[in-house]
């Protein structure tokens, strides 16, 4: 008489739970079984058996399926996974959503008073030569606040000068380091004045983080003064062998102006002394109450 081998009750529950989780995760993402098969390399027939709760599956195959579903393998197996699966599904939808949709989600989830997230952090934005480093340092001294230049923070973190950072990591790598540096400064300081590179505003996610976590001030000046100040710093590259440099600078300023205009405040440093512009900056910080904590 042949012996009938039955699965332990606990194992049967795990297989049944796994079948339900895989099936629900696949349907939540709108994936046909064949599409999941192509992503994971697991045959449609095997997937059908898995979702029906028939047979066992190896850890290796289950890992391939969880990777294809973009869900951690433990979430497919744990008893409290339904909630975790929903979180994973929402996270996946967020990651693949357009930036405009992500901004709406962040706005909905943020506290009612956005200034709470910004605390006493101030970020100076604008093209190179607008006076961010000079005025930021002086304002920090006057207001007894730490002053940080984002590029120098990146140099300190990587242990190499910016030119080597760019050569080693490339433009995309640098932008990633830039975003990480902004996060570190937010974690480190409740009150700080930060100066960032002129091109940061073109990086949607990093700029969104800056706007969310800092009170922003756009320092602007005329194209001629931008160029003059850069050359005064000893950098002759903008004009060297490039007769169209001024036209290019004007075009760059024009293209970025809508981005810079998203700042909470702006200061025009054209034809103004450093001391006058510094007073303007301090007045803007005071009148907008950038250093006051909401509800304090």
Segment among 6-10, 167-171, 212-216 with least mean pLDDT: 6-10
Integer CA distances (angstroms), 253 to 124, 202, 261, in order = 16, 12, 11
Segment among 48-57, 120-129, 260-269, 282-291 with least mean pLDDT: 48-57
Segment among 39-48, 154-163, 224-233 with least mean pLDDT: 224-233
Q: Do 41 and 154 share a domain, yes or no?
A: no
Q: Do 91 and 174 share a domain, yes or no?
A: no
Segment among 44-58, 75-89, 112-126, 255-269 with least mean pLDDT: 75-89
Q: Do 134 and 91 share a domain, yes or no?
A: no
| Helical packing angle, 59-69 and 33-40, nearest 10° | 110
Amino acid 273: pLDDT: 92
Compute how many other C-beta atoms are within 10 angstroms of the C-beta atom of residue 38: 13
Please give the radius of gyration of the chain, using alpha carbons only, rounded to the nearest integer: 27
With a cut of 80, say whether residue 89 has pLDDT above it: no
Look at residue 274 and tell me if it is in a domain: yes
Q: Do 133 and 84 share a domain, yes or no?
A: no
Q: Do 157 and 272 share a domain, yes or no?
A: yes
Look at residue 56 and tell me if it is in a domain: yes
Amino acid 256: pLDDT: 92
Look at residue 237 and tell me if it is in a domain: yes
Contact predicate 262/211, CB 8 Å: yes
* CATH value at residue 173: 3.40.50.300
Residue bearing the bigger pLDDT, 219 or 98 = 219
Q: Do 220 and 260 share a domain, yes or no?
A: yes
With a cut of 70, say whether residue 98 has pLDDT above it: yes
Look at residue 183 and tell me if it is in a domain: yes
Look at residue 102 and tell me if it is in a domain: no
Amino acid 11: pLDDT: 61
Residue bearing the bigger pLDDT, 235 or 174 = 174
Look at residue 101 and tell me if it is in a domain: no
Mean pLDDT to the nearest integer, 106-130: 80
Q: Of 62, 96, 130, which one is at a domain's C-terminal end?
A: 96
Q: Do 172 and 266 share a domain, yes or no?
A: yes
For 183-207, what is each residue's pLDDT tens digit? 999 999 999 999 999 999 999 999 9
Q: Do 145 and 234 share a domain, yes or no?
A: yes
Q: Could you give the percent of the chain with pLDDT greater than 90?
A: 40
Look at residue 294 and tell me if it is in a domain: no
With a cut of 70, say whether residue 277 has pLDDT above it: yes
The two three-digit tokens of residue 261, written as one number: 């205009």
Which residue, 232, 150, 264, 251, is CA-closest to 198?
150
Q: If pLDDT is split at 50, 70 and 90, which confidence band does 144 have?
A: very high
The two three-digit tokens of residue 243, written as one number: 């007769």
Q: What are phi and psi of 158, to 5 degrees?
A: -90, -20
Q: Of 96, 125, 159, which one is at a domain's C-terminal end?
A: 96
Amino acid 2: pLDDT: 44
* CATH value at residue 20: 1.10.260.40
Q: If pLDDT is split at 50, 70 and 90, which confidence band does 74 have?
A: confident
Mean pLDDT to the nearest integer, 141-170: 93
Amino acid 182: pLDDT: 95
With a cut of 70, say whether residue 241 has pLDDT above it: no
Q: Do 178 and 33 share a domain, yes or no?
A: no
Look at residue 103 and tell me if it is in a domain: no
Give the Cα separation of 167 and 149 in Å (integer). Answer: 20
Q: Do 137 and 280 share a domain, yes or no?
A: yes
Q: Do 61 and 127 share a domain, yes or no?
A: no
Q: Of 64, 96, 128, which one is at a domain's C-terminal end?
A: 96
**Residues 6 or more apart whose Cβ sits within 8 Å of residue 258:** none
Q: State the distance between the two ends of the chain, measured CA to CA, in whole angstroms.
A: 81
The two three-digit tokens of residue 251, written as one number: 């075009």
Q: How many domains does the chain have?
A: 2
Give the Cα separation of 276 and 295 in Å (integer). Answer: 32
Amino acid 25: pLDDT: 79
Give the Cα separation of 43 and 14 in Å (integer). Answer: 21
With a cut of 60, say whether residue 265 has pLDDT above it: yes
Give the Cα separation of 212 and 206 in Å (integer). Answer: 10
Residue bearing the bigger pLDDT, 266 or 84 = 266
Compute the mean pLDDT over every residue in the chain, rounded to the nearest whole number: 83
Which residue, 269, 151, 278, 261, is CA-closest to 220?
269
Amino acid 3: pLDDT: 43
Range(s) of the domain holding residue 74: 9-96
Amino acid 214: pLDDT: 96
Give the Cα separation of 121 and 201 in Å (integer). Answer: 17
Q: If pLDDT is split at 50, 70 and 90, which confidence band does 80 have?
A: low
Q: If pLDDT is split at 50, 70 and 90, which confidence band does 238 have?
A: very low
Q: Do 132 and 242 share a domain, yes or no?
A: yes
């Amino acid at each position: 008489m042949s012996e009938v081998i039955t699965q332990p009750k606990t194992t049967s529950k795990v297989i049944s739970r796994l079948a339900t989780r895989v099936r629900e995760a696949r349907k939540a993402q709108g994936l046909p079984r064949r599409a999941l098969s192509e992503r994971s390399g697991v045959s449609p027939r095997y997937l059908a058996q898995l979702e029906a709760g028939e047979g066992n599956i190896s850890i290796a195959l289950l890992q391939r399926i969880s990777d294809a579903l973009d869900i951690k393998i433990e979430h497919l197996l744990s008893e409290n996974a339904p909630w975790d699966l929903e979180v994973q599904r929402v996270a996946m939808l967020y990651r693949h959503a357009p930036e405009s949709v992500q901004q709406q989600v962040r706005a909905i989830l943020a506290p009612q008073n956005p200034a709470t997230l910004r605390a006493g952090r101030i970020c100076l934005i604008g093209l190179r030569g607008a006076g961010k480093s000079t005025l930021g340092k002086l304002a920090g001294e006057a207001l007894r606040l730490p002053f940080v230049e984002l590029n120098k923070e990146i140099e300190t973190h990587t242990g190499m000068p910016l030119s080597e950072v760019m050569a080693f990591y490339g433009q995309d790598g640098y932008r990633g380091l830039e975003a990480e540096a902004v996060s570190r400064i937010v974690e480190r300081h409740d009150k700080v004045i930060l100066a960032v590179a002129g091109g940061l505003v073109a990086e949607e996610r990093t700029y969104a983080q800056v706007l969310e976590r800092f009170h922003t001030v756009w320092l602007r000046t005329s194209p001629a003064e931008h160029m003059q100040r850069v050359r005064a710093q000893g950098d002759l590259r903008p004009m060297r062998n490039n007769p169209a440099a001024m036209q290019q600078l004007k075009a760059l300023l024009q293209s970025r102006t809508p981005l810079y205009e998203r700042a909470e405040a702006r200061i025009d440093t054209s034809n103004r002394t450093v001391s006058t512009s510094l007073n303007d900056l301090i007045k803007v910080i005071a009148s907008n109450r950038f250093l006051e904590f909401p509800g304090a």
